[in-house]
């Protein structure tokens, strides 16, 4: 490979001849060969938007000459084009596991944009128009206010899809609730038979849970709209022009479509990344609830001969390399594994949030990577769950009816009439003789048939009359 020599404050660095980045990016490549993972597209998009907005704001504040501002803007527009977007992994190669605060990432953007801007200006451009990564692309900025701003913008971007996915999933569960409201089944607590319920009622609980999670996600997203841009290095706004902060909020609101606002205390948003943790806490709750619901569905679908076999899941792949005809709850297993991984990412985010010192949380790179990855993964998993599993679930009506009628806990409806003790004795006898409690009550003629039918009316049993 051919190289060129670039220089930064530490000295000379060899950089691939045709690379758009410079010395500081190359140092990061050399120093941090950790995961081999690229920056997420959402973070790249957010950072480019910040650099473009800053060029406009600085030009309007006369902190940059108009020609310089336009050159930076044009370079950013190029990076958004298909030609360059397909090369993002090559152009922005800094590993997410890097030095604290994200300085390497910020300088990667500064160097690339400066290189492109200068290429566009041409070799004949006046020396005082040349674009410098720090003096011009990074004008009025610091890693310490751009990186947390980019993190918030990226999360607002990817979480929008998550909120929509959660809403659609809740609606899918609600559709099952409406379809199955009159299908009786045996309720279970402690994995033991409990009082009757309808299949629709059971699924209504899932629908309500997911609707609530979607609400928490929406509410927590609002805290991401509060930005510290313009705070510069520690929150004082050093080196920033007077109108820069408000212009940045206006420009970024315009390009993101989000109602962004400046933080009321720039020192707080520099020191603390609690807003990120608050948002990802809502993602954690969603992952916990999805795990629970997935486990329930797997249990209800277990069998078919030796499990509950109450619902039929869509078959998406053969379940075994050795057992012909076996079909597994594959989509639900994928969902469980995704949720476990996201919960691990949430632990990383939690530790990162508490790891700041004094004026800055330096653990932002891994906090950012974890929360964006977790958001994207769970969003895609939810969509696959809905389209490849949930929408195609069918009830096993015969099995549900059998369990409903044979469960001894249907006797709970008779206890106000017979008393707790006598009903408990009947349940014990019915289990011993392997007959239904209802049949035993009929044999013993303990309750007149008309009254018995009224007590065992489905709508009464599942609470529709209350």
**Encoded tokens for 232:** 């510069």
Residue partners of 101: CB distance under 8 A and separation at least 6: 143, 144, 147, 360, 362, 364, 365
Q: For strand 184-189 and strand 192-198, is the pairing parallel, antiparallel, or unpaired?
A: antiparallel
Closest CA to 111 of 69, 74, 149, 72: 72
DSSP category for residue 357: B
Paired residues of 311 in beta bridges: 395
Contact criterion met (CB below 8 Å) for 3 and 26? no
Question: Is the backbone of residue 70 left (phi > 0), alpha (psi -120 to 50) or beta?
Answer: alpha
Distance from C-alpha of 275 to C-alpha of 329, rounded to nearest angstrom: 36
Distance from C-alpha of 379 to C-alpha of 20, rounded to nearest angstrom: 33
Contact criterion met (CB below 8 Å) for 372 and 152? no
DSSP character string of 250-303: HHHHHHH-S--EE-S-HHHHHH--HHHHHHHHHHHHHHHHHHHHHHHHHHHT--
C-alpha dihedral over 313, 174, 334, 393, to 10 degrees? 10
Question: How large is the C-alpha radius of gyration of the chain?
Answer: 30
Contact criterion met (CB below 8 Å) for 90 and 176? no
Please tell me the number of Cα atoms within 13 Å of 14 on its side-chain side. Answer: 3
- Cα angle for residues 386, 396, 449 (degrees, 5° grid): 135
Q: Give the active site residue among 320, 352, 370, 436.
A: 320
Q: At what angle do helices 330-353 and 364-388 cross, to 10 degrees?
A: 160
Contact criterion met (CB below 8 Å) for 137 and 131? yes
Distance from C-alpha of 195 to C-alpha of 312, rounded to nearest angstrom: 23
Distance from C-alpha of 143 to C-alpha of 359, rounded to nearest angstrom: 13
Closest CA to 329 of 346, 348, 312, 341: 312
Q: Is residue 104 annotated as part of the catalytic site, yes or no? A: no
Active-site residues, by number, are 320
């Amino acid at each position: 490979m051919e190289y060129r020599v670039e220089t930064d404050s530490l000295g000379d660095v060899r950089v691939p001849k045709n690379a758009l980045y410079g010395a500081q990016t190359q140092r990061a490549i050399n120093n941090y060969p950790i995961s081999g993972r690229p920056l997420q597209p959402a973070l790249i998009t957010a950072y480019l938007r910040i650099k473009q907005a800053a060029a406009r704001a600085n030009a309007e504040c006369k902190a940059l000459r108009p020609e310089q501002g336009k050159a930076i803007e044009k370079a950013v527009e190029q990076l958004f084009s298909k030609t360059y977007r397909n090369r993002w992994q090559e152009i922005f190669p800094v590993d997410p596991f890097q030095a604290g605060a994200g300085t390497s990432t910020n300088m990667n953007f500064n160097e690339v944009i400066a290189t492109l801007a200068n290429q566009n200006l041409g070799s004949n451009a006046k020396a005082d128009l040349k674009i410098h990564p720090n003096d011009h692309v990074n004008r009025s900025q610091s890693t310490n206010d751009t990186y947390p701003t980019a993190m918030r913008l990226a999360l607002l971007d990817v979480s929008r899809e998550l909120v929509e996915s959660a809403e659609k999933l809740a609606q899918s569960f609600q559709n099952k609730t409406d379809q199955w409201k009159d299908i009786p089944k045996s309720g279970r607590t402690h994995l033991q038979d409990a009082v009757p319920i309808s299949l629709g009622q059971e699924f209504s609980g899932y629908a309500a849970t997911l609707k609530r999670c979607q609400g928490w996600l929406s509410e927590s997203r609002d805290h991401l709209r509060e930005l510290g841009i313009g705070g510069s290095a520690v929150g004082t706004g050093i080196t920033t022009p007077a109108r820069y902060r408000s212009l940045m909020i206006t420009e970024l609101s315009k390009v993101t479509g989000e109602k962004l606002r400046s933080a009321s205390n720039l020192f707080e948003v520099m020191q603390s990344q609690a807003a990120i943790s608050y948002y990802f806490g809502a993602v954690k709750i969603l992952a916990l609830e999805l795990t629970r619901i997935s486990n329930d569905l797997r249990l209800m679908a277990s069998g078919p001969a030796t499990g509950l076999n109450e619902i039929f899941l869509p078959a998406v792949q053969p379940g075994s390399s050795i057992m012909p005809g076996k079909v597994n709850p594959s989509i639900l297993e994928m969902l469980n594994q995704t949720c476990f991984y996201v919960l691990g990412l949430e632990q990383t985010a939690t530790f990162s949030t508490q790891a700041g010192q004094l004026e800055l949380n330096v653990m932002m790179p891994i906090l950012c990577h974890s929360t964006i990855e977790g958001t994207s993964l769970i969003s895609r998993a939810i969509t696959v769950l809905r389209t490849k599993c949930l929408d195609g679930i069918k009830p096993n009506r015969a099995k549900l009816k059998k369990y409903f009628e044979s469960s001894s806990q249907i006797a709970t409806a008779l206890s106000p009439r017979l008393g707790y003790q006598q009903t408990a004795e009947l349940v014990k006898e019915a289990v011993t003789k392997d007959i239904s409690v209802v049949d035993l009550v009929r044999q013993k003629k303990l309750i007149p048939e008309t009254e018995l039918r009224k007590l065992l009316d489905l709508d009464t049993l599942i609470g529709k009359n209350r």
